[in-house]
């Protein structure tokens, strides 16, 4: 059987690179994308190469980032901009294959097997994509080339930034097997420690280990990792638009003051719901599940979610679902310090849906028109040019800029499934 030709394209320091593209005056200075360092919240979502060299890490609190890099510059995230660049990159990829599978906003697998006869081999196609992204988008990508998705991703991580690495049947033992086992996809810190305790420290050690031994200590994941290490992953690259590159859009915020009653909560929930719904509309998504997260001032927290009757990008529907979840699950033992709202299980907003006889569709259409009118006014005159009357009950709480604290959650690799490979190993 002829090997597939799989590429994994990874936009280098994606969020930070796009911000620098739009703010060239910040080049040459360490930069991180995150929340508001003057408020009570914020983590590093992305950093440029200078910040990375100074020791700044993704997920680090902003105050910690400033400690390791005192001259760092923070900029707020602009997720709609990053999603636009992601779509533009996928338009370039589409010139080479329709088998492209997003792994978050900035990473994608491409099966270019069918294009090699007319576009050249995998390395040639990777070089052309690398050049086009640089010239047409102004950012760089690192690309891995291999015969399976796992080794292709290892290739894009192998050299950064702006590099291309080929792992083929001839060189993978020499180049991949000496790498630390934690470089393999889905070997996290806990799995790494467990593997290290069995003297499995490199990917080669993992490849040589008895699959049944791995299964006995790691369950089915042990078989999956054995398959990954030996280059036996046969998971297909999903067709273009198989699913959205993200699985949820959400906002959470640590509030300027503690929330002490339901009226306070409603103000913040509507702020967050407005931002979530606006992002859904900007990117043509609708959510089928609404989730809230709540943390009190003694750091007790919980998360709850509920499925909606119909997919929605309507502010009021998202906010009302969030408030229902809050009322059903919080007992006001302590004031609230942080709250979040998220829409998940996203679908394309243009996907036809079955009408519900018990839903007033005319009223929903009216709410949608109102949201679109608000979007248009804010685009023209600024975010604070129009606000709900509810926001005037407390100008401190309503000053939260929820839109800039937007977060997205990418799909995981396992959602595409590795069942076939696992079953084959189990049978062996």
3-state secondary structure string across 321-346: HHHHHHHHHCCCCCCEEEEEEEEECC
pLDDT at 426: 40
Q: Tell me the pLDDT band of 245, cut-offs 50, 70 and 90.
A: low
> CA–CA separation, 178 vs 201, rounded Å?
9
Residues forming beta bridges with residue 253, ordered by sequence position = 339
> CA–CA separation, 256 vs 295, rounded Å?
14
Count other Cβ atoms within 10 Å, centred on residue 281. 19
Q: What is the CATH number of domain 246-410?
A: 3.30.1490.100
Q: Tell me the pLDDT band of 401, cut-offs 50, 70 and 90.
A: low
In the chain, list all ranges with CATH 3.40.1170.60: 14-78
What is the per-residue pLDDT across 327-386, written as a single tens digit (0 to 9) for each?
A: 999 988 889 988 999 999 888 776 667 667 777 888 888 998 999 899 889 888 877 788
For residue 107, indicate whether it is catalytic. Answer: yes
Residues 60, 66, 72, 76: is their CA dihedral positive or negative?
A: positive
User: Which runs of consecutive H residues, i.e. helices, occur in 244-360?
Assistant: 262-282, 315-329
Residues found in the chain: 428
> CA–CA separation, 104 vs 326, rounded Å?
29
Q: Tell me the pLDDT band of 287, cut-offs 50, 70 and 90.
A: very high
> CA–CA separation, 94 vs 409, rounded Å?
24
Any idea which residue has 């079953």 for tokens?
Answer: 423
The reply, when asked if residue 360 is annotated as ligand binding, is no
Residue 421 predicted with pLDDT over 80: no
Nearest to 80 by CA among 286, 284, 372, 313: 284
The reply, when asked if residue 313 is annotated as ligand binding, is no
In the chain, list all ranges with CATH 3.30.1490.100: 246-410
Q: Tell me the pLDDT band of 254, cut-offs 50, 70 and 90.
A: confident
Topology (CATH) of 14-78: MutS, DNA mismatch repair protein, domain I (3.40.1170)
pLDDT at 362: 87
**31 φ, ψ to 5°?**
-135, 145
Q: Tell me the pLDDT band of 72, cut-offs 50, 70 and 90.
A: very high
Q: What is the mean pLDDT of the chain?
A: 86
Choosing from 19, 101, 107, 266, the catalytic residue is 107
Count other Cβ atoms within 10 Å, centred on residue 357. 5
Residue 16 predicted with pLDDT over 60: yes
Is CATH 3.30.70.270 what the domain over 6-12+82-238+416-427 is classified as, yes or no?
Answer: yes
> CA–CA separation, 252 vs 268, rounded Å?
10
In the chain, list all ranges with CATH 3.30.70.270: 6-12+82-238+416-427
Residue 427 predicted with pLDDT over 70: no
């Amino acid at each position: 059987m002829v090997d597939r030709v799989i590429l994994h394209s990874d936009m280098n320091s994606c969020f930070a690179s796009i911000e620098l593209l739009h703010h060239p005056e910040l080049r040459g200075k360490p930069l991180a994308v995150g929340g508001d360092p003057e408020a009570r919240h914020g983590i590093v979502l992305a950093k440029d190469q200078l910040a990375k060299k100074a020791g700044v890490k993704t997920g680090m609190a902003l105050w910690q980032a400033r400690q390791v890099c005192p001259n760092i510059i923070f900029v707020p995230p602009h997720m709609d901009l990053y999603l636009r660049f992601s779509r533009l990159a996928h338009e370039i990829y589409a010139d080479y294959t329709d088998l492209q599978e997003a792994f978050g906003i900035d990473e994608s697998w491409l099966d270019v097997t069918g294009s090699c006869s007319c576009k050249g081999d995998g390395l040639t196609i990777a070089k052309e994509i690398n050049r086009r992204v640089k010239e047409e988008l102004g950012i760089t990508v690192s690309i891995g080339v291999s015969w399976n998705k796992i080794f292709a991703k290892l290739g894009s991580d192998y050299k950064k930034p702006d590099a291309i690495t080929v792992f083929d049947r001839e060189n993978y033992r020499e180049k991949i097997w000496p790498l630390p086992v934690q470089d393999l996809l889905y070997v996290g810190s806990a799995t790494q420690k467990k593997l290290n305790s069995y003297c499995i420290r490199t990917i080669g050690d993992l490849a040589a280990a008895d699959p049944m031994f791995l299964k006995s200590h790691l369950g089915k994941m042990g078989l999956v990792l054995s398959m990954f290490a030996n280059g036996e992953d046969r998971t297909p690259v999903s067709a273009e638009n198989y699913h959205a590159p993200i699985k949820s859009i959400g906002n959470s915020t640590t509030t300027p003051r503690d929330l002490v009653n339901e009226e306070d909560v409603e103000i913040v929930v509507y702020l967050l719901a407005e931002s979530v719904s606006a992002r859904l509309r900007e990117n043509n998504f609708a959510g089928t599940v609404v989730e809230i997260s709540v943390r009190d001032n003694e750091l007790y927290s919980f998360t709850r979610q509920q499925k909606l009757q119909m997919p929605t990008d309507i502010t009021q529907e998202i906010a009302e679902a969030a408030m229902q979840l809050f009322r059903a699950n919080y007992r006001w033992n302590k004031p609230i310090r942080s709250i979040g709202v998220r829409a998940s299980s996203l679908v394309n907003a243009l996907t036809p849906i079955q009408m519900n006889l018990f839903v007033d569709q005319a009223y929903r259409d009216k709410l949608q028109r109102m949201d679109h009118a608000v979007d248009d006014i804010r685009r023209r005159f600024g975010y604070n040019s129009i606000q709900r009357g509810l926001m005037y009950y407390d100008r401190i709480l309503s000053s939260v800029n929820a839109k800039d604290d937007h977060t997205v959650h990418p799909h995981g690799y396992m959602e595409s499934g590795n069942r076939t490979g696992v079953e084959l190993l189990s049978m062996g």
